[in-house]
Amino acid sequence: MAIKTRVIVVDPAAPDAAAIEHAALALGKGQLVAFPTETVYGLGAHALDPEAVRRLFDAKGRPSTDPVIVHIAHLRQLGTIAAAVPPVARRLARAFWPGPLTLILQRRAMVPDAVTAGRPTVGVRVPAHPVADALLQFSGLPIAAPSANRFSRPSPTSAQHVLADLDGRVDIVIDAGPTPVGVESTILDLTAEPPVVRRPGGVSFEALQAVVPDAHRLQLVLDPAVSQPAPGQLLRHYAPSAPMTLYLGSVDRVAMRMGDDARSLAASGERVGILAPEEDLLMLAPRLAAAAAGGRVVTKRCGARRDPASTARELFAALRALDREGPGVILASAGSPDGIGAAVVDRLLRAAEGRVVHV
Residue nearest Mg ion, CB atom distance: 147
The radius of gyration of the chain from alpha carbons, rounded to an integer in Å, stands at 20
Report the alpha-carbon distance of residue 77 to residue 276 in Å, rounded: 41
Restricting to residues 75-94, name those near ligand TXA by CB under 6 A. Answer: none
Nearest to 164 by CA among 52, 173, 18: 173
What is the nearest approach in angstroms of Mg ion to the Cβ of residue 196?
Answer: 19
Do 197 and 331 meet the contact criterion of CB atoms below 8 Å apart? no
Restricting to residues 119-158, name those near ligand TXA by CB under 6 A. Answer: 119, 121-123, 127, 145-147
Is residue 68 a contact point for ligand TXA (CB under 6 A)?
A: yes
Write the CB contacts of 40 (distance below 8 Å, at least 6 apart in sequence). Answer: 147, 148, 155, 156, 157, 179, 181, 182, 183, 184, 316
Write the CB contacts of 98 (distance below 8 Å, at least 6 apart in sequence). Answer: 38, 126, 127, 128, 133
Residues binding Mg ion (CB under 5 A): 147
Burial class (CB in 10 A: 0-12, 13-18, 19+), 166: buried
My answer on whether omega of the bond before 50 falls inside 30° of 0, hence cis, is no
* x-or-dash string of contact with ligand TXA, 189-228, rule CB under 6 A: ---------x------------------------------
Backbone φ and ψ for 34, nearest 5 degrees, come out as: -85, 135
Is residue 184 a contact point for ligand TXA (CB under 6 A)?
A: yes
Nearer to Mg ion, 139 or 147 (CB): 147
Do 125 and 105 meet the contact criterion of CB atoms below 8 Å apart? no
Is residue 339 a contact point for ligand TXA (CB under 6 A)?
A: no
Restricting to residues 27-56, name those near ligand TXA by CB under 6 A. Answer: 37, 39-40, 42
Is residue 66 a contact point for ligand TXA (CB under 6 A)?
A: yes
What is the nearest approach in angstroms of ligand TXA to the Cβ of residue 54?
Answer: 15
Q: Which of 10, 23, 81, 104 binds ligand TXA (CB under 6 A)?
A: 104
Q: Which of 159, 187, 291, 322 binds ligand TXA (CB under 6 A)?
A: 187
Binding residues vs ligand TXA (CB under 6 A)? 37, 39-40, 42, 66-69, 100, 102, 104, 116, 119, 121-123, 127, 145-147, 184-185, 187, 198, 230-233
